[in-house]
Amino acid sequence: MLLIPCPLCGKRSESEFIHGGPVGADRPDPNAVSDAEWVDYLTVAPNPLGPVQEKWWHARGCGEWLTIWRDTRTHDIVEAPDGIK
Amino acid sequence: MSYDVTFQRRGLDALFDLKGRAGAIRGWAGDTLPQLPDRPNTRSSGGEVEVYYVGCDHWLARAPLDQEEMLEAQLQPATCPVEISIVRVSDTLSFFRVTGPDAPEVMAIACPLDLHEAAFAVDAVTYTEMFGLKALVLRCTGGFEFAVEQSFGDMVEDYLTRATV
Ligand SMILES: [Zn+2]
């Protein structure tokens, strides 16, 4: 089980949250990228072996959306990798 | 296993859902409400009216049911400024009280929160889970009080009966 840090409520049980999927890339300008890059943006979700940034909704808590970094190898919540906010 | 505990399903209270910046709500509500709590997941009270800080820019005001009309008249939900929202939600929650020496044990069956006083102080109030349902949890004299969406009231009463037998 994860204890997920909510900015408003502090650490709470994973069961209070709903997973919102990985944080994807920023939306590119569709006129400035190739068709392949656009399809990539639309359909390919980040799925790394290692730290992934994820959205979680504190649905059975305060209602806030938040992001965390989770290491897919250990299931631990981790710091953002170097150089990434 | 049985527990030394009493639970009670409570009647309705006057409840108002308040959303918006604290300053804007204070400016509109004036003396109708007590001072809004400044720490999330805590409560304040003044007279018989309590205010719970339950989310970002989100509060619940609670008072005895006989004050509902008076609060509605003073808070004027229909004409409040656009930057705040006030909605009467008195009939949306079913409140339960779990009291007695084993109240913490029964709460621990249903709730993932650490409800020891060091982690969940006397003035604490928060949305969390009870029996897997979104629930508002707070302390009361001799134990704990919680509220679930009113349509789950009968089911939760049944859960509590089974958990405490
Ligand atoms: Zn929260």
pLDDT tens string, chain B, 165 residues long: the values are 689 999 999 999 999 999 999 999 999 999 999 999 999 999 999 999 999 999 999 999 999 999 999 999 999 999 999 999 999 999 999 999 999 999 999 999 999 999 999 999 999 999 999 999 999 999 999 999 999 999 999 999 999 999 998
- Kindly report the average pLDDT of chain A as a whole number: 94
Distance from CA of B73 to the nearest CA of A (A): 28
Cβ partners under 8 Å of residue B142, min gap 6:
B99, B100, B103
Question: What's the confidence (pLDDT) of residue A85?
Answer: 60
Cα Rg, chain A, nearest whole Å: 15
Select the residue of A16, A60, A64 nearest B56 (Cβ to Cβ): A64
Domain boundaries of chain B, sorted by first residue: 6-10+92-164, 13-90
Closest residue in B to A12 (Cα–Cα): B113
Q: What is the model's pLDDT at position B2?
A: 87
Neighbours of ion ligand 1 (CB under 5 A): A 6, 8-9, 58, 61-62, 64
What's the pLDDT at B22? 97
Q: How far is the C-alpha of B81 from the C-alpha of A49, rounded, in Å?
A: 49
The CATH number assigned to the domain with range B6-10+92-164 reads 3.30.1360.120
- Could you tell me the distance, in angstroms and rounded to a whole number, from the CA of residue A60 to the centre of ligand 1? 8
Give tens-digit pLDDT for A45-58: 999 999 999 999 99
Q: What is the pTM of this model?
A: 0.93
Q: Provide CATH code, domain B13-90.
A: 3.30.70.1520
A3-83: CATH topology is Folate-binding fold (3.30.2270)
